[in-house]
A and B are shown apart, each in its own frame.
Chain A
Amino acid sequence: GDSVTQMEGPVTLSEEAFLTINCTYTATGYPSLFWYVQYPGEGLQLLLKATKADDKGSNKGFEATYRKETTSFHLEKGSVQVSDSAVYFCALKANQAGTALIFGKGTTLSVSS
Chain B
Amino acid sequence: DTAVSQTPKYLVTQMGNDKSIKCEQNLGHDTMYWYKQDSKKFLKIMFSYNNKELIINETVPNRFSPKSPDKAHLNLHINSLELGDSAVYFCASSQGLALNTGELFFGEGSRLTVL
Residues of A within 8 A of B (CB): 32, 34, 36, 38, 41-46, 49, 51, 87, 89, 91-93, 97-103, 105-106, 108
Taking CB atoms, residues of chain B closer than 8 Å to A89 are 43
Secondary structure at chain A's binding surface: helix, strand, loop or mixed?
strand
The 8 Å CB contact of A44, one of B42, B44, B104, is B104
Q: Which residue of B lies closest to A87 (CB)?
A: B41
Which one, B41, B45, B103, B107, contacts A105 given CB within 8 A?
B41
* Interface size, B (range): 20 to 34
Residues of chain B having any CB pair with chain A under 8 Å? 4, 33, 40-45, 48, 55-56, 58, 90, 92, 97-98, 100-109
B104: chain A residues at CB < 8 Å are 36, 44, 46, 101
Say whether B90 contacts A43, CB under 8 Å.
yes
Provide the bound-state CA to CA distance between A91 and B43, in Å: 10
A43 near B102 with CB under 8 A, answer: no
Q: Report A97 CB to chain B, min CB distance, Å.
A: 5
Residue in B closest to A94 when the chains form the complex, CB atoms: B102
Bound CA span A38–B90, Å: 12
A22 to B109, CA, bound (A): 26
**B106 lies within 8 A of A44 (CB):** yes
Whether A106 and B109, one on each chain, are in contact in the complex, defined by CB atoms closer than 8 angstroms, is no
- Contact, CB under 8 Å: B41 / A49: no
Give CA–CA (A43, B109) in the complex, Å.
Answer: 6
- Nearest A residue (CB) for B88: A43
Contacts of B4 in A (CB 8 A): 43
Q: Are B45 and A101 in contact (CB under 8 A)?
A: yes
